[in-house]
A and B are shown apart, each in its own frame.
Chain A
Amino acid sequence: MSTFFTFVINGLSLGSVYALIAIGFVVVFKSTRVLNFAHGSVLLLGAYVVGRTHEALGFGLAVLAGVGAAAAAGVLIDVVVMRRARGADLGTLAILTLGVDIVLLTELTRRIGVDVLTTGAPWGTNVVDLAGAKVPESRLIAAAVAIVLMAMLAAVSRYTDAGVAMRAAAADGETASLVGVRLGRVAMAAWALAGALAAVAGVFLGSFPSPGIDATLGLAALAAIPAWVLGGFDSIPGAVVGGLIIGVVSALTTGYQEELSFLGRGLGEVAPYAVMLLVLLIRPSGLFGTREITRV
């Protein structure tokens, strides 16, 4: 029982990191209708910057640098590449991001080589005993940070002008521009926000219990794609719930690997997609995917 509890707690904390990544997908999609497949390499970039600079700058400043670099990368992708193709169809835009992803990932892989960088996080390898469950301290901090960030995000989107502008732009870009919302800025803000969240997620994905930051870290963002999709593509609460579900599912299937061995090896990687398909079969627009609220 306590192993089960341990798996669930671990899953939830991992899930909150996935949620941060999935929120990035959602925010970019909502504001610019882009399925952003370059998200993984932006995440890797953020983590890479932290890994390379923490010795010189200290962890706190390094994280700021990483977040800044990832946010700037997001803005650059938007301004240099995506903006020129605005209004193109979904497929074209998605393929453009795949191209960006390949370029960025290749360069980062070249720089990292076979190294495994550390994040230099002060919490190191501590493990906390939480009501019988053994949980790495880094995971608990990850969950706490994710919760704080999500709460801030919710507050910003609800109570500030920028938040109202972003929601208006997401709902109806043309009308939003008629009330003076600058769509270009909204798009830039969305890309920057997605990049920043990805960098934070990258730091936690690169911390204990995972070995560190290597060139495959970007693939971790792929694990958030089922979270994004099953949450409903355009719903931030959906991304959060989706992230938690995927986190728990992969923690459980990985944890009970032995017992589930009749399903084959590597189940932990497949299970999120299986859950995603299952959810989509029952609810084709995802858990929270808003079919628009309109009067007919």
Chain B
Amino acid sequence: MPDTPPRGSTTNASPKPADRPLLRVADLEVSYGGTMRVLRSVSLSVPDGAVATVLGGNGAGKSTLLRAISGTLPFTGGSIDAGSVEFGGRRLDGLDAATVVRTGVVQVPEGRRIFGALTVEENLRAGGLPLPRRSRVSGRERVYELFPVLRERRRQRAGLLSGGEQQMLAIGRGLMAEPRLLLLDEPSLGLAPKMMERIAGVIAEINRQGTAVVLVEQNAALALEVSDVAFVLEAGRLALQGPARDLANSDEVRDRYLGTADGAAAQPPSDAPSDAPSDAPSGAVRRSAGSTTRPVAPVLRPTGARGHRASAEAPQELSVQGLTVRFGGIVALQDVSFTISAGSIHALIGPNGAGKSTCLNVLSGVYRASAGSVRYGGHELTRLPPHHIARLGVSRTFQNMSLSVRETVADNLLLGRHRLMRGGFVSTGLWLRPARREDSAHRKQIVRVAELLDIAGHLGRPVRVLPYGVRKRVELARALCAEPGLLLLDEPVAGMTGEESVAMAGAVVAACRELGLSLLVVEHDMAFVMGVADYVTVLDFGRRIADGSPEQVRQDPEVLRAYLGSGGDGPAGEAAT
């Protein structure tokens, strides 16, 4: 990597400038609310101009580490109990976030938190606030060069961008401050495989221009590919560290982070730690799905509570015909048709902005269709309000999750059972016997679902304190609690490690097969999709470009071009346009 001299004037402090790292974290201890210890004595250092990756499962403390560096711990009730964070010889711990930015450390937060009500251009402008006005124009040009689509959409409100575009905007906004060190939290989250290659290219390019990067990324193959050094966090401790190449070849990292599901999806760059051909991972997903089936079986069977005739809704066929959705002048979906036969698992894939989430939003009644029909059983869904659709046994999860973060997991799950609750205002208010009985039946049921998804230990905790991956499972659990006949999942494994994604696939498949429910899943993790889906529909720019079994779709040249990129065969790496 190029060794550009550090900008700024922080060089006075050090007597030995040669091998002093750019970022040094020493014996860092972080806890939330004084009780939950999240980081334990973590020490690591990142050389100037390097790309470093932090790997680890959900809850390992990766995001917390970034927060400790960027000064945003106080926003989540966290605090540094001991240790230090030093950047270019300057202590960062104890500084507030706005000051840290001015030292040259910029964090791009997880979940693309762009300012939705501001335009794209205003978002970039906000990113450039720490710099003098003159130097911003060139910065903005640089961002537009990296992400041409942002230039096209610069006058639009950022909230209307697709997930992938929002991620680009978030990174671009971070670059506007011309950081010496960029902290990226899950940049590839929810991005199409082809888009991930682009992000990898962008990280390499940012680094080439002289910015060091610390990357937290669930797609370990992608992360290790672009990194010089890597660190593995486990339960708040630094478990492994070393050159990225060495770690990529170590058995431990292979098994836990590269091993099965993960790699296959993004698999771009030719010399990535080579995984097995993409059949193998999908096979692995399938196997583990099968293996979890047994114990699940009795668990989810219809609820003990009486009078719940609405429960265990028999799945119906869902038929989408000629669906078109327009927002003002933009056509988000154009004449899309597909059918989900009762009890099958159907995947909807496509590049970011292809209209996948829009499609789910129409099915669940959040958006109105401009034309076309969606029939579920005997009902025309396009004319029904969301709560009515939910009552028919259609349940969903959200891409960006929409849990009540201040409430406990248990309360969120109970909310999922809302449609099954019969107790009236009076009987519940007076806490009469039938209401009590119903309540305890519902609580039993949510415990079962929680056990299935391995979140039973979190039931009493507020969602706010849970790491991303656990929230993801809570969201799925809430949808399952409604005992749906048709389940709509928007990116259920985004942001999970290979291992976790396999487990999630297992749980999803088991639940679907056992309850015989139909599933429509939007997901970028190809191993997951190819492993679980019976049928796949591919969208691009709002149109259906392919439709068929996973095997057919995977070989469809149109799909390779638009979505999978250099995926299977063909020369790697060049598709990043």
Contacts and interface: CB of A to CB of B under 8 A. Distances in A.
Contact of A171 (B101, B116, B133, B361): B116
A281 interface: no
Contacts of B127: 179
A4 B160 CA distance: 45
B361 A296 contact: yes
Interface string A194-210: 00000000000000000
A178 B107 contact: yes
Nearest to B70: A178
A265 B103 CA distance: 64
B101 A178 contact: yes
B115 A167 contact: yes
Contact of B400 (A172, A293, A296): A296
A294 interface: yes
B115 A175 contact: yes
Interface stretch (A42-50, A94-102, A180-188): A180-188
Contacts of A161: 125, 129, 133
A177 interface: yes
Contacts of A182: 96, 98
Contacts of A176: 115, 126
Interface in B119-140: 122, 125-127, 129-130, 133
B366 interface: yes
B159 A181 contact: no
Contact of B117 (A171, A183, A295, A296): A171
B118 interface: yes
Contact of A172 (B96, B115, B133): B115
B163 interface: yes
B129 A179 contact: yes
A292 interface: yes
A180 B118 contact: no
B357 interface: yes
A77 interface: no
Given A178-B72, A182-B98, A296 B126 contact: no
A168 interface: yes
Contact of A164 (B75, B122, B159): B122
A295 B118 contact: no
A181 B163 CA distance: 24
Contacts of B70: 178
A13 to B, nearest CB: 31
B406 to A, nearest CB: 10
Contacts of A173: 75
B513 interface: no
A155 to B, nearest CB: 14
Contact of A183 (B98, B125, B129, B361): B98
Given A179-B129, A296-B361, A171 B163 contact: no
Given A180-B102, A181-B126, A183-B98, A294 B75 contact: no
A172 B113 CA distance: 8
B375 interface: no
Contact of A180 (B75, B130, B357, B361): B130
Contacts of A171: 115-118
B400 A180 contact: no
Interface in B50-102: 70-72, 75, 96-98, 101-102
A294 B115 contact: no
B233 interface: no
A165 B118 CA distance: 11
Contacts of B160: 293, 295
A172 B159 CA distance: 13
Interface string B133-161: 10000000000000000000000010110
B192 interface: no
Interface residues on A, range: 20 to 34
Interface in A249-296: 290, 292-296
B11 to A, nearest CB: 22
Contacts of A178: 70, 72, 97, 101, 106-107, 109
A174 B75 contact: yes
A177 B97 contact: yes
A168 B157 contact: no
Contacts of A290: 117
Interface string B352-393: 000001000100001000000000000000000000000000
Contacts of B122: 164, 167
A176 B107 CA distance: 11
A186 to B, nearest CB: 10
Interface string B159-182: 110110000000001101100000
A294 B129 contact: no
Interface string A218-249: 00000000000000000000000000000000
A173 B357 CA distance: 27
Nearest to B71: A177
B113 A179 contact: no
A179 B177 CA distance: 8
Contacts of B106: 178-179
B163 A295 contact: yes
B400 A295 contact: yes
B541 interface: no
B97 A294 contact: no
A168 B75 CA distance: 16
Contacts of A183: 98
Contacts of B101: 177-180
A258 to B, nearest CB: 44
Contact of B129 (A165, A175, A292, A295): A165
B115 A168 contact: yes
Contacts of B177: 179-180
A177 B98 contact: yes
Contacts of B402: 296
Interface string A133-176: 00000000000000000000000000001001101100111111
Nearest to B367: A296
B398 interface: yes
Given A180-B101, A294-B116, A168 B126 contact: yes
Given A167-B117, A293-B117, A174 B129 contact: no
B117 A181 contact: no
* Most A CB within 10 A of own CB, among B109, B117, B163, B402: B117
B495 to A, nearest CB: 17
B77 to A, nearest CB: 9
B340 to A, nearest CB: 21
B31 interface: no
A22 B13 CA distance: 51
B321 interface: no
A235 to B, nearest CB: 11
B399 interface: yes
A225 B462 CA distance: 34
Interface in B170-214: 173-174, 176-177
Contact of B118 (A164, A174, A296): A164
B399 to A, nearest CB: 7
B368 to A, nearest CB: 14
27 contacts: A161-B129, A161-B133, A164-B118, A164-B125, A165-B129, A167-B115, A167-B117, A168-B126, A174-B97, A174-B109, A177-B96, A177-B97, A178-B97, A178-B106, A179-B129, A179-B177, A183-B98, A292-B116, A292-B117, A293-B117, A293-B160, A294-B116, A294-B400, A295-B160, A295-B162, A296-B361, A296-B402
Report the 3 A-B pairs with minimum CB-CB distance, sorted nearest first: A180-B130, A177-B97, A180-B101
